[in-house]
Amino acid sequence: MNEIFAALGKIKASKPLVHHITNWVTIYDCANVTRCIGALPVMAHAKEEAKDMTSISQALVLNIGTLTPSLVGSMLLSARRANEKRIPVVLDAVGAGATRFRTEKAKEILTSVRIDIIKGNAGEIATLAGAKAEVKGVESGAFAGERKQIAKALARKYRATVVMTGKYDVVSDGRRTYVVANGHMMMGSIVGTGCMAASVIGAFAAVEKDYAKAAAYALVCFGIAGEIAAKKIRGPGSFKERFYDELYNLDEKTIARMQRIRVEK
Amino acid sequence: MNEIFAALGKIKASKPLVHHITNWVTIYDCANVTRCIGALPVMAHAKEEAKDMTSISQALVLNIGTLTPSLVGSMLLSARRANEKRIPVVLDAVGAGATRFRTEKAKEILTSVRIDIIKGNAGEIATLAGAKAEVKGVESGAFAGERKQIAKALARKYRATVVMTGKYDVVSDGRRTYVVANGHMMMGSIVGTGCMAASVIGAFAAVEKDYAKAAAYALVCFGIAGEIAAKKIRGPGSFKERFYDELYNLDEKTIARMQRIRVEK
Amino acid sequence: MNEIFAALGKIKASKPLVHHITNWVTIYDCANVTRCIGALPVMAHAKEEAKDMTSISQALVLNIGTLTPSLVGSMLLSARRANEKRIPVVLDAVGAGATRFRTEKAKEILTSVRIDIIKGNAGEIATLAGAKAEVKGVESGAFAGERKQIAKALARKYRATVVMTGKYDVVSDGRRTYVVANGHMMMGSIVGTGCMAASVIGAFAAVEKDYAKAAAYALVCFGIAGEIAAKKIRGPGSFKERFYDELYNLDEKTIARMQRIRVEK
């Protein structure tokens, strides 16, 4: 059986609960894509219940898109519980580098708790790695320099898996580096694809303990759904609807035929 | 005239304002479905204006999906005002049983103010009724035991109408019990259908003072729209779009032909 | 070249960052429509980073749809920074008049900082202008009195551009008054079109320093997309999807052919 499809099958069979503490912009889409991929989403940010919700979950996804000091507090409570339970913690460093507050809080989270998977675009990851980068809001394009080297260095620094999204997604755990070439330009035409990718990574990490593999497999599925959806649409509105449909319907043949993933050791 | 369609017509004619204090995940969908059914939504959670907004509304919908202590405070202020005005208050007990905080706060709301319609899935209602139940996050499947008996018992305890959603929705006011068999499996493939159902129930309760009837009629309309929408879609993305269309376009013939509702006394 | 299309082209070429401090209901749609029109959205409301985010932005959009005292604080911090930088500040006065809190805070914002573009429906603008008006929640229809006169008076009072939406949108800077007749009834069938219009106005104002022109041009594009989308849909679900598609695909010929805008001096 195709290994990526097998992981997807595990999600659908075990329906892991993926706890999110996330931003107010794409919170619905994060929940919905989690359901689409076969897992169960739960969003709970109050400090009074964050830890308890993590206790019954199989993965934790943190997203700093509309961060406040109070949310940071709940993130730390939940992440500590996740660390105790040894369930995967994903940090989507949305907009790191755009403001001092966001950069500092992202670093504070990284140094206070164990983050298993650090995700961002080139600018965000470079900011966390201390590399020179120009970040424009929560968006950032390619920048000069060695993308893979930066991802690898950050992975080693925090002994984590680093996901750097872009035209080619780079996933590195410091030893192995996956390059995923699936995806489509239209995915950038709607808000929230990055956040949604983190949710799908969380679902895969709940069932696949090799987190580099989990993240890369998630990005393959996510990207293939985007490629198929992009074929028959008129614009971002119809793309988004179709994207959910295609992600929900992914089958083994399609994954095996379309997957564009390679690993460097 | 078909009685359910007549109630729907009353909503469209009087356009009741339905005040929500709800969660950050499905807040847009709650607002949008309220508009779809012909009512007007308003969301206002600040303690500085919650009561005033309830003062100009015809129904109040409370949803504990992303609860905080501050939101509980606003809910109580609004519910007291709604009680004074004798307009219906719906409580959607999302995730009751999942964390101690949520269960306790749901019970605190139930004992502090008059809730006219208590809504939840089997696990959530069982939690509030003190029955044994296993609740997984905000999702829960069927569980052993007498669903109707639990709904009835909770209805009697709080002199309220209880809505227990599931493959068959049960609505009981302690005397009469409606069973609604409309709906489609695809409704579970997207996030937010439960929350949206509560908004539609709120709109119906604004125009139909027999709340058990109001809730059952709302669920019939909601379920029929889901059944029609499910026929011509490819997955959850197209289902959701179509669901809004079908709910907006419901006509008398369709309701009369498709309604699957019975009452036990 | 058509002047409206030229402005749209400037947005797509320069991709201005539009900072929003907005409500929790339509926050996603505000972000997504900003992207659709070719600009970049960023949402950041924490007082710890609001000002810094405005510092790297080209426009600021404030929306009081789910206002809290804490959000007002962040809005003032951001607006002061925007005033210093001389980038446009748009205030969407959602629900002004519905509660005392909202009305007072809207006025407090107007008197504390420079608002370049004040947007609302007839009832909201009348409330801010001190004219007699009846406002029902966040919705309000036409009301008696001179719409253009009220817009003009408010524009003069605050030396701002005033946008009063409705069947005919009125845009006045106190000297010139634009009337835009584009748009379609279906735009009122979904929640959030008003908020989305404010985001599009923000994007245009980032590239066109004549704010009355910017607002009117934005409303022409917005309305045309609505008219085209309304032609081939079944209801509000498909309308919304199509609306995003059409806005994204607007071309010069379509704008030139369909624009319904006139100016009175």
C-alpha B135/C-alpha B141 separation (Å) is 8
Q: Which residues of C fall within a CB distance of 8 Å from A101?
A: 46, 48-49, 52
Q: For C71-80, give one letter per residue: b (16+ CB within 10 A) or e.
A: bbebbbbbbb
A122 burial via Cβ count (<10 Å: 0-12, 13-18, 19+): buried
Contact C179, C264 (CB under 8 A): yes
Question: Quick one: what percent of chain C has pLDDT higher than 70?
Answer: 95
Residue A135 has what DSSP assignment? -
Test mutation, B12, B15, B28, B45, chain C, max C CBs within 10 A: B28
Please indicate whether, in this complex, the C-beta atoms of A57 and B137 are within 8 angstroms of each other.
yes
Per-residue pLDDT of chain B (265 residues; tens, 9 = 90+): 999 999 999 999 999 999 999 999 999 999 999 999 999 999 999 999 999 999 999 999 999 999 999 999 999 999 999 999 999 999 999 999 999 999 999 999 999 999 999 999 999 999 999 876 544 444 444 443 478 999 999 999 999 999 999 999 999 999 999 999 999 999 999 999 999 999 999 999 999 999 999 999 999 999 999 999 999 899 999 999 999 999 999 999 999 999 999 999 8
Please indicate whether, in this complex, the C-beta atoms of C243 and A233 are within 8 angstroms of each other.
no
Contact C177, C264 (CB under 8 A): yes
Contact A57/B at CB under 8 A: yes
Which regions of chain A are under pLDDT 50? 134-145
Q: How many CB pairs under 8 A join A and B?
A: 98
Q: What is the mean pLDDT of chain A?
A: 94
Please indicate whether, in this complex, the C-beta atoms of B237 and A248 are within 8 angstroms of each other.
yes
Provide the CATH number for the domain around residue C255: 3.40.1190.20
Question: Quick one: what percent of chain C has pLDDT higher than 90?
Answer: 92
> To which residue do tokens 């369609």 refer?
B5
Query: Backbone phi, then psi, for B26, in 5-degree steps?
Result: -110, 20
Test mutation, A48, A66, A71, A239, chain B, max B CBs within 10 A: A48
Domains in chain B: how many in total? 1
Closest CB to C235: pick one of B42, B52, B249: B249
- State whether the Cα torsion C112-C117-C118-C119 is positive or negative: negative
- Looking at residues C150-155, what average pLDDT do you find? 96
User: What's residue B46's pLDDT?
Assistant: 98
pLDDT of C150 > 70? The answer is: yes
Q: What is the pairing mode between strands C169-172 and C177-180? A: antiparallel
C-alpha A28/C-alpha A41 separation (Å) is 10
**In chain B, which among 185-204 make CB contacts under 8 A with chain A?**
189-192
Please indicate whether, in this complex, the C-beta atoms of C28 and A23 are within 8 angstroms of each other.
no
Please indicate whether, in this complex, the C-beta atoms of A49 and B241 are within 8 angstroms of each other.
no
pLDDT tens digits, A171-213: 999 999 999 999 999 999 999 999 999 999 999 999 999 999 9
pLDDT tens digits, C96-139: 999 999 999 999 999 999 999 999 999 999 999 997 654 444 44
Contact C22, B43 (CB under 8 A): no
Please indicate whether, in this complex, the C-beta atoms of A53 and B137 are within 8 angstroms of each other.
yes
| Contacts of residue A104, Cβ cutoff 8 Å, sequence gap at least 6 | none
Q: What's at B52, amino acid-wise? A: D
Please indicate whether, in this complex, the C-beta atoms of A46 and B69 are within 8 angstroms of each other.
yes
User: What's residue A146's pLDDT?
Assistant: 79
Residue A139 has what DSSP assignment? B
Closest CB to B67: pick one of A46, A241, A242: A46
**In chain B, which among 92-111 make CB contacts under 8 A with chain A?**
95, 98-102
Closest CB to A191: pick one of C31, C46, C48: C31
C-alpha B199/C-alpha B63 separation (Å) is 10
Please indicate whether, in this complex, the C-beta atoms of B249 and C241 are within 8 angstroms of each other.
no
User: What's residue A131's pLDDT?
Assistant: 76
Q: Which long-range contacts (CB under 8 A, 24 or more apart) does C37-40 make?
A: C37/C8, C37/C11, C37/C199, C37/C200, C37/C203, C37/C221, C37/C247, C37/C248, C38/C8, C38/C11, C38/C12, C38/C203, C39/C11, C39/C15, C39/C202, C39/C203, C39/C206, C40/A136, C40/A137, C40/A139, C40/C15, C40/C16
Contact C242, A238 (CB under 8 A): yes
* Predicted complex ipTM: 0.94
Domain residues for B109? 3-264
User: What's residue C215's pLDDT?
Assistant: 98
pTM comes to 0.95
Q: How many CB pairs under 8 A join A and C?
A: 96
Q: Which residues of B fall within a CB distance of 8 Å from C234?
A: 242, 245, 249
Closest CB to B24: pick one of C24, C98, C241: C24
Query: Backbone phi, then psi, for C119, in 5-degree steps?
Result: -120, 140
Please indicate whether, in this complex, the C-beta atoms of B237 and A249 are within 8 angstroms of each other.
no
